[in-house]
Amino acid sequence: MMRLVRRGLMFGNLFEVRSPTLVERYNRALEHLTGRRTALTDFHVDISGYSPEIGDEFGDDHYLNPNGCNRQFIVLSTEQKTAPLLNAKFSTSRSILRRWMDENEAQLFALTAKDAVAGELVNSVFSVERPNDLLAIRRIEVEADTTASTVEDGKILQGKIDRFLQENDAWWDDVLIAEMIEIGKKTGDITRNPVVFTHNSFEQRNFYTSHFGGLYVFRDLDEAAVISTQDIEDVSDWDVEYAMDFTQRNDIATFLAANNLVEPITSARGRDVAAILQQKLDFIVVDTAAELGESVENPDRRALRQLARRNLKHLPREYEGLYLLWQWARGQGDWPRITSEHPAYFYTLRASDHADKDLVNMLLAELAPLDVRQLFICHKEAFYRTYAGWSDAKKDYVAEYLASEYMMDKAGAREELFGHEPAMEEPAPARAAQKRKPVEQPWGRRREDDDDDDDDDFDEDDRDIVQRVGPWGAVKRR
């Protein structure tokens, strides 16, 4: 993993803690939450205050996340909000923490000037023993305070201030005034520097969790569904309409299309689709060559073509399907028919423009693991897990590519792969009310040229055609 660490691809953008004051504040908060203290004098923390160095010291990477369902956090500075969230059990945890920190930035700035803020993302369960425990999680409450209980004191002081302003005789209440002065010594002037947190409640609708080997939960639909990365046998007690696993590709593809969650990458306007497909092909070629023991150090376009020719009979079917689509995108071949049963199918999709597009791109990345760039961008935990099993040659190539190509322009790469034209309003949530009727051809027919239309434009009928993926088949209904 040191290849990734040295290039800033792992443990990057963490907040550094090295001053004795911050270390002591962290220890007070850590002892408040867990009853433990660290002996380290400098370390790095993520957005939640988790430190990989302290995790290594304790031999416990989940020291701030007991039972994996109520994430605890320590805030030393508002600068932490730009850091990643490591060892996340839920895909929504970082976004909830970031939104809470943005909404309460003034309060956090005032509080962390003197102390650390310790808290917890509280949901309705204390442990996850079965899938239905996950389905019971609907709302996340953020509870936080300093180790000196400044927030709680602030609430008490605010109540006394309200009483002082509203009661006619409060001016003569010496006891009330004395209490306000005494509490104010600890909280400061809360009228200028507020210490009471707001916006503490967040909904958790559709999400990914690493529990039970990895589950994608889609509840915010007329008919809820769970997609498991592992084989599932018995779903009789799952409180969900549909349950699928990664072996049921046709069912997953139909679910995604029926709820308007995906679109073909070929429908992306203004994008160099051929270049996107070429990169996916290159990753597959490098993967195959590296597994066969060939050198893949800094290959150029010519070297990649030679690797593909030499190892043609060893290339997987994913390469075959994407190559046909690449030829079509360059105007050098017919429109290919790629069904959901074809291994290349999920490589040809991206999330459509809706509120859960990051979650859907995360799912697609795991369904198309040979596209290592998309896997790294959308699902880092899965990327690190698969990276550990690669050959040294492939590790070198991927680490160098990501550092030299992706990290140089992360925003541009994300926009090219997943971006959508800006809308006038917020993206609509993906709901079953937006369903389209599946059509008969998974990839449809190739559109005939029309002199009155631009060659690169797709009308609505064409968009319907490319959405079809297949019947529900063996979906397990409760």
Residue 463's pLDDT is 39
The reply to whether 224 falls in a domain is: no
Residue 463: CB partners within 8 Å, gap ≥ 6?
Answer: 263, 267
Average pLDDT over residues 122-137: 80
In this structure, what token pair is assigned to residue 396?
């070198």
Q: Residue 95 pLDDT more than 80?
A: yes
Over residues 13-41, the mean pLDDT reads: 95
- Can you give the pLDDT at residue 346? 96
Residues near 237 by beta carbon (within 8 Å), at least 6 away in sequence = 130, 132
Per-residue pLDDT at 423: 39
- CA triplet 403, 408, 412: central angle to 5 degrees? 125
The average pLDDT across 94-122 equals: 91
Amino acid letter, 377: I
Residues 320 and 199 in one domain: no
Same domain, 11 and 96: yes
On whether both 199 and 310 belong to a single domain, the answer is no
Instruction: Give φ, ψ of 305 to 5 degrees.
Output: -65, -40
Q: What does the alpha-carbon distance between residue 204 and residue 437 come to, in Å, rounded to a whole number?
A: 29
Comparing 408 with 382, which gets the higher pLDDT?
382
Overall number of domains in the chain = 2
The single-letter code of the amino acid at 139 is R
Please say if the pLDDT value at position 35 is more than 50: yes
Note whether 198 and 304 are same-domain residues.
no
Global pTM value:
0.80
Q: Which pLDDT score is estimated for 291?
A: 84
Q: Are 342 and 317 in contact (CB under 8 A)?
A: yes
pLDDT grade, residue 31 (50/70/90)? very high
| DSSP three-state, residue 109 | helix
Q: Is residue 142 part of a domain?
A: yes
- 206-216 burial, b if ≥16 CB within 10 A, otherwise e? bbbbbbeebbb
Q: Is the pLDDT of residue 435 over 70?
A: no
* Nearest CA among 134, 137, 155, 133 for reference residue 146: 155
Within a domain: 97? yes
Three-state secondary-structure class, residue 104: coil
Structural domain contains residue 230 = no
Q: Are residues 450 and 380 in the same domain?
A: yes
- Whether pLDDT at 431 is above 50: no
pLDDT digits (tens, 9 = 90+) for 318-363: 999 999 999 999 888 888 989 999 999 999 999 998 889 999 999 9
Same-domain status, 311 and 402? yes
The reply to whether 199 and 306 lie within a common domain is no
Domain co-membership, 429 together with 286:
yes
Reference 351, options 441, 257, 424; nearest CA is: 257
Domain range for 343 is 257-465
